[in-house]
Each structure stands twice: as structure tokens, then as C-alpha cells.
């Protein structure tokens, strides 16, 4: 379950809010707005039970390979794929996002919705996304981050660290990074 896009503010349909979140992110990333950005081969990294995978496949006709660490999620997602007639287009498998079982340049879109926060090595995560996406392909990552540090700051405040520590314990999450940290990782890969 993802957070959702709650516009209008009085929305109570949580499933539609989740679908709207996917669509808003796709539009923001300009995925499918022009023929050159139409995804045909997609990897969904940290797919859960594959809701984003099925939606993207239906929306664009894409073939989607999706990965999760959970055997239950992969099994349940593939059951849903079968129930919805998408078994030939969408496949979930158990795999580690930090060591994906795919060849280099296998996809034209890498999609990761609210999964990056679970990655213990953010640099390796980004490196793997770049490895499996073909040159000119798109990488879309929506993840939890902490605030960017201000100029001269060495770290978050003690209070911020304490709050993040409580969240991380509650959700079994490794340390977070900031948006700027992700930007630097993407820029570093873009220059390779």
C-alpha cells in the first residue's frame, strides 16, 4: 500500500488515491507523453504485490518484470496478475534490488515507488537502476528522504535524528538520505 494522492482533499477512496499517485508520478516524469517516452520494457523495483506493475502494463501495454524480497508478495502478485489476465505481461519474482538478476540495458523504464527507503546501500541501489536501464531510458524513484542540509550544516539536528531513528525502528528501515544525496548519486552515474 502506498500513500496515495489525495486530491481533492476530501477523497476517501484509498485505492483510487494510490492509482492517482502512480499517474501523477508518471505524468511528472513525462513517461508516455511522447512516443519516445512510451515504456515497453519495465522493471518495478520493490514491487510489493505489483499494483504499480499491473497499472503501468495496462496503461502503456508494457511488459513488466517486478522484484520483491518477499516470496509471499511475489506469489500473491502473480495470482492477481492471473486473475486480471496479465500473466503474459507482468511477472513478479523474488530478487534483491541491490543485485538484480537482469542483463545490462534490459529496460527502458525503471520504476521504484516507496522502496528506496528500504535499501541499505543507496549508492548500490542507484548503480543497479542505471545498470539495468538502457541508455536514454528513464528511472523514476519515489522514496522517503530526510531534508537537505543547509550550507554549513554537517548533519541533521539531534531531534531530527531521534525522530528518524524512531521511524526506522518502527518500519525496520536503514538510514535515509536526502534528495540532494540522491541527485548526486544520479549525477555521478549520468557521467559514466
Active site residues: 114
Q: Provide the pairing of β-strand 107-113 with 63-68.
A: unpaired
Residue 125: partners with Cβ closer than 8 Å, 6 or more residues away: 97, 98, 116, 119
Regarding beta strands 107-113 and 41-45, do their DSSP bridges make them parallel or antiparallel, or are they unpaired?
Answer: parallel
Residue 174 has a CB neighbour count (10 Å cut-off) of 12
Look-up of cell digits 485505492: 15
Amino acid at each position: 500500500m502506498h500513500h496515495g494522492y489525495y486530491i481533492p482533499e476530501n477523497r476517501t477512496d484509498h485505492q483510487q488515491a494510490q492509482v492517482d499517485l502512480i499517474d501523477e508520478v508518471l505524468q511528472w516524469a513525462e513517461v508516455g507523453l511522447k512516443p519516445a517516452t512510451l515504456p515497453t520494457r519495465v522493471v518495478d523495483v520493490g514491487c510489493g504485490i505489483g499494483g504499480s506493475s499491473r497499472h503501468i502494463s495496462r496503461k502503456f501495454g508494457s511488459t513488466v518484470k517486478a522484484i520483491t524480497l518477499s516470496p509471499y508478495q511475489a506469489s500473491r502478485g502473480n495470482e492477481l496478475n492471473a486473475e486480471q489476465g496479465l500473466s503474459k505481461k507482468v511477472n513478479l519474482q523474488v530478487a534483491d534490488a541491490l543485485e538484480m538478476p537482469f542483463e545490462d540495458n534490459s529496460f527502458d523504464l525503471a520504476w521504484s515507488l516507496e522502496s528506496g527507503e528500504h535499501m541499505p546501500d543507496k549508492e548500490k541501489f542507484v548503480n543497479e537502476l542505471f545498470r539495468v536501464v538502457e541508455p536514454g531510458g528513464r528511472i523514476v524513484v519515489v522514496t522517503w528522504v530526510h531534508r537537505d542540509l543547509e550550507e554549513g550544516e554537517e548533519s541533521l539536528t539531534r531531534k531530527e535524528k531521534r525522530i528518524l531513528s524512531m521511524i526506522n525502528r518502527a518500519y525496520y528501515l536503514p538510514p535515509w538520505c536526502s534528495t540532494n544525496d540522491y541527485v548526486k548519486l544520479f549525477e555521478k552515474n549520468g557521467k559514466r
